[in-house]
Structure 1
Amino acid sequence: MHRNQLDPPTRPAVMARPEGKTMKSIVQDRYGPAPEDVLRLAETDRPTIRRDEVLVKVHAASVDRGTWHVMAGLPYPIRLAGFGLRRPKYANPGRALAGTVEAVGADVTGVEPGDEVFGIGSSSFAEYARAHADKLAPKPTNLSFGQAAAVPISGLTALQAVRDQARVGPGQKVLIVGASGGVGTFAVQIAKAYGAEVTAVCSASKTTLVSALGADQVIDYTRADVADGTIRYDVILDIAGNRRLSHLRRALAPRGRLVIVGSETDGRWLGGMDRQLRAQLLSPFIGQTLGTFIASENSQDLITIRELIESGKVTPAIDGTYPISDVSAAIHHMLNGRARGKLVISVQPT
């Protein structure tokens, strides 16, 4: 799916807000760390799409750590990234979605009304949401809308961490810290699909899940130290682990790669990015490669994940499903660290 500015329009621009058309949507007027204080369910107008956009009838959305950052406006640099300086730019912090294309703009090619899609849009905690075609892909045929909505953001992050940043290949020893969360559950499966020997780190209550996803070894971080010198790993993915760089380096092979994925703190200005910056500054002076990245939201990688899912190599791990009226409860469940995999928001029946 792509937009081609050189093609002549084949249809008029679609105005996706007909007279009198409304929808249910989560609405946010101000930033705040507590979802129950800033999010509410309301009746609003349906979005109007531009010539290069798609209107998606949202069947399901999902919650991830980024949902909280967008909602809270923290750390502050996220506001400079286009989410609004003093108040939220978008109606709500939802982004991942799965649904049916309702309408397309005049400059959009490769997608038509009625197509079942999954991907990333704007304000997806709503019955309808805007999206760009180059951030959508056909929904995996073997997934429900709810399962598909769990994939886009966490799946893209995991794919790009494993394939592009860590360059995982057959036979490599890979350590995944934070393997039971949204990104971690995808990373375990994708690393296995790329032929790695995967050691996963999580809490004792989540070891059964992570083993079922295909991890070769699972370590309860409360009982064992992965940096005790017993094993040196070719790749370490630190997903929200917040471990000291010196500690992680003791577990990393002399020419190994450390990829920091997230690892946020509650800091208002840097929010954990200081550790990522230190890693990047240190990396040129040592044999190990230390770094981080910002995930790219694009349809081609969504298609790659779709192929992994349809081949049976990757399956989204769903911890629970919440109705749109309980978005706040889903965010709280994610924040308390008890989630096993992804949390899905059911918006409307298929």
Structure 2
Amino acid sequence: MDDPQHLSAPTTPADSSPTTTVMRAIVQDAYGDADALQLVHIPAPEAGADHVLIRVRAASAHIGDWHVMTGQPYLMRVMGFGFRSPKARVRGMDAAGTVAAVGANVTAFRVGDEVYGSCDGAFAEYATARVETLARKPAILTFEQTAAVPTSACTALQALRIGEISAGQRVLIIGASGGVGLFAVQIAQAFGAEVTGVCSRSKIELVRSVGADHVIDYAETDISAIEQRFDLVLDMGGNRTLSQLRRCLTPRGTLVLVGGEGGGRLVGGALLRSLRAVALSPFVRQRLRMVVSATKAEDLQTLNDLIEDGKITPVVDRTYPLSEAADAIRRLHSGEARGKIVITV
């Protein structure tokens, strides 16, 4: 690993990007496990006309980073992530930091603004982002807390909207202790729902601490066999069949599938199950939906409002320095994390 070096913010005009600044970044030149990640010095990116250059202060890891790193399921490679090696060399997607430069067409942000959102190559000292994936950083959060928000919280918000969440609903969140699940519990509570979370025994108190009304240990209770039925079920686990999940619903309830692990290396079980659900939905009374999430500025602003009102608080498991990004990804994949994993830059 290269030794860290301090870099000052670019001093070029506000409508341009640095061309000579060197930065530290976590790069990957071939698909593989976390051992494929390397800390190296590379030229800093430049902000295009419609982009913002961010001096990254913190970045967070989510399961998408693992899939891009490994190139699995293989369908991802065909979809444009790079057939033989990652198309994007620098890893990471979610970041919080300060604006270092803006493109000529950017009017929403100025140099020095504190921002967060999804960007290209977050595990680095500088990263570029499109304006439509950024928002101003909530004043009450640290950079580390803020970096934990973008993809996971936007996915949770969009899943609940697809499920047409409303006050008084009984909502079941499977995978409530995960990155998306912890936000989903809090957002559902903010909408006035009665929330039941499903997780492992070791994380029951964690899920309760973010506001779940009830928590089920999946190892002790078969959720498809309990008497209670739910108006809305969010499944982040990916381990249950559609039949099992539908048994948790009221006759006209809604199931929203939010990713999930497992399945084969070619396509991935979660995608196949989601496609089956969408195909089945027109023929049953229950609504079966899938989420294709994206970080959007308007959703980040909604989350900002909830954060400022004290209805959402990001849960950070551990922070790692940039030089230990590989260890951060390993912990992410282990399933042991109790909240989001953050990398400080």
Kindly report which structure 2 residues correspond to 1:19-30, keeping only aligned pairs within 5 A, or say none. 19=20, 21-30=21-30
2:343 aligned residue (337, 342, 345): 345
The aligned counterpart of 2:140 is 142
What 5-or-longer segments of structure 2 have no aligned partner? 1-11
1:8-40 per-position Cα deviation (integer Å, ceiling 9, x unaligned): xxx988442233x211100111112x111x110
The aligned counterpart of 1:250 is 247
Give the 3-state SS of the residue equivalent to 1:234 in structure 2: strand
CA root-mean-square deviation = 1.4
Q: How many Å separate the matches in 1 of 2:110 and 2:93? A: 21
Q: For residue 240 of structure 1, report the CA deviation from its aligned partner.
A: 2.3
2:321 and 2:344 in contact (8 A); partners too: yes
1:127-168 per-position Cα deviation (integer Å, ceiling 9, x unaligned): 0001111110000111000000000000100000012x1111
Q: For residue 239 of structure 1, report the CA deviation from its aligned partner.
A: 0.6
1:183 aligned residue (180, 184, 189): 180
Q: How many Å separate the matches in 2 of 1:208 and 1:229? A: 21
Kindly report which structure 2 residues correspond to 1:60-209, keeping only aligned pairs within 5 A, or say none. 60-163=58-161, 165-209=162-206
1:158-181 per-position Cα deviation (integer Å, ceiling 9, x unaligned): 000012x11110110000000001
Q: How many Å separate the matches in 2 of 1:316 and 1:144? A: 10
1:71 and 1:92 in contact (8 A); partners too: no
Give the 3-state SS of the residue equivalent to 1:262 in structure 2: coil
Give the 3-state SS of the residue equivalent to 2:132 in structure 1: strand
Q: For residue 266 of structure 1, report the CA deviation from its aligned partner.
A: 5.0
User: Is 2:34 the counterpart of 1:35?
Assistant: yes
Q: How many Å separate the matches in 2 of 1:18 and 1:281? A: 50
2:73 and 2:264 in contact (8 A); partners too: yes
Q: How many Å separate the matches in 2 of 1:291 and 1:136? A: 27
More divergent stretch after superposition (176-185 vs 217-226): 217-226
2:169 and 2:232 in contact (8 A); partners too: yes
What 5-or-longer segments of structure 1 have no aligned partner? 1-10
The aligned counterpart of 1:16 is 17
Q: For residue 76 of structure 1, report the CA deviation from its aligned partner.
A: 2.1
Give the 3-state SS of the residue equivalent to 2:253 in structure 1: strand
Give % identity.
52
User: Is 2:208 the counterpart of 1:211?
Assistant: yes
Q: How many Å separate the matches in 2 of 1:77 and 1:241? A: 18
Q: For residue 336 of structure 1, report the CA deviation from its aligned partner.
A: 1.3
2:19 and 2:43 in contact (8 A); partners too: no
1:264 and 1:271 in contact (8 A); partners too: yes
1:13 and 1:51 in contact (8 A); partners too: no
1:180 and 1:206 in contact (8 A); partners too: yes
Where do 4+ consecutive residues of structure 1 move more than 6 Å? none
Q: How many Å separate the matches in 2 of 1:314 and 1:13? A: 34
Count of equivalent residues:
333
TM-score normalised over the length of structure 2 = 0.94
* Equivalent AA in structure 2 for residue 261 of structure 1: V
Q: How many Å separate the matches in 1 of 2:34 and 2:87? A: 17
The aligned counterpart of 1:232 is 229
* Equivalent AA in structure 1 for residue 250 of structure 2: A
Give the 3-state SS of the residue equivalent to 1:122 in structure 2: coil
1:166 and 1:257 in contact (8 A); partners too: yes
* Equivalent AA in structure 1 for residue 29 of structure 2: D
Give the 3-state SS of the residue equivalent to 1:270 in structure 2: coil
2:60 and 2:148 in contact (8 A); partners too: yes
